[in-house]
A = this chain, B = another copy of it.
Amino acid sequence: MKYSKATNYALHTMMYLTAVAPDKRLGVQQLAEHQRVSPTYLSKILTKLVKAGMIESVSGANGGYKLKPNWEAISFLEIIHAIEGSTSLFDCCQNDNPDCLIQKIMVSAEEKMEQELFNQTIGDLAKKMTVTL
C-alpha cells in the first residue's frame, strides 16, 4: 500500500504555488518542469484539484493555474482526498457482517491519521517554508 505519485505531485504543486505566486497564474509547463513530470500528466492531476475547488484554471494565452482566494485554509487531507478519493483504506469484504470489529479498529486508526492531516493547512506550512528559506 502506497500513496500514489499523483498525490505527491499534487501536494508539491500546491506548495509551489503558495511559495511562488499565491495570486498569479502559472502555466502547467512551468509547474511540470519544476517537478520533472510531463505537463500532460500533471494537467490531469491539476484538473482534479480544480474540480475540488482548490485552484482555478484559465484557458488561452497566458493561461494557467492559480490558487483560489481561500487557499490558506486548505488542508493536506482535502488535497489527498481530491486525488485518491475518500473511501476507507480498509474494506472488510466479508460475509455479510455489517459491523466487523476488525473493520472498526482499522477505520478508527485511519481517522487518527486523517485528523492529523486535516489539521495541517497549506497556509501554516507556507509560513514555515518561508522561514526556512
Residues of A within 8 A of B (CB): 1-5, 7-8, 11-12, 15, 35-36, 76, 84, 87, 89-95, 101-102, 105-106, 108-110, 112-117, 120, 125, 128-129, 132
**Please, how many angstroms separate the alpha-carbon atoms of A101 and B76 in the complex?**
12
Q: What residues on B are CB-neighbors of A106 within 8 Å?
A: 3, 76, 117
The residue in chain B whose Cβ has the minimal distance to the Cβ of A88 is B2
Residues of B with C-beta under 8 A to A112: 112-113, 115-116
**Which B-chain residue is minimally distant from A11 (CB atoms)?**
B102
Contact A84 B5 (CB under 8 A): no
- Count identical subunits in the complex: 2
Assuming the contacts A1-B4, A3-B106, A113-B113, asked whether A94 and B129 have C-beta atoms less than 8 A apart, the reply is no
What residue in chain B is nearest A124 (Cβ atoms)?
Answer: B105
Chain A's interface: helix, strand, loop or mixed, by majority?
A: helix
Q: Which chain B residue lies CB-closest to A129?
A: B101
Q: Within the complex, which residue of B89, B94, B105, B110 is in contact with A125, where a contact is CB–CB below 8 Å? A: B105
CA distance A5 to B91 in the complex (A): 8
Q: How far is the CB of A69 from chain B (nearest CB, A)?
A: 23
Whole-angstrom distance between the alpha carbons of A125 and B108 in the complex?
14
Kindly report which residue of chain B lies nearest to residue A108, judged by CB atoms.
B116
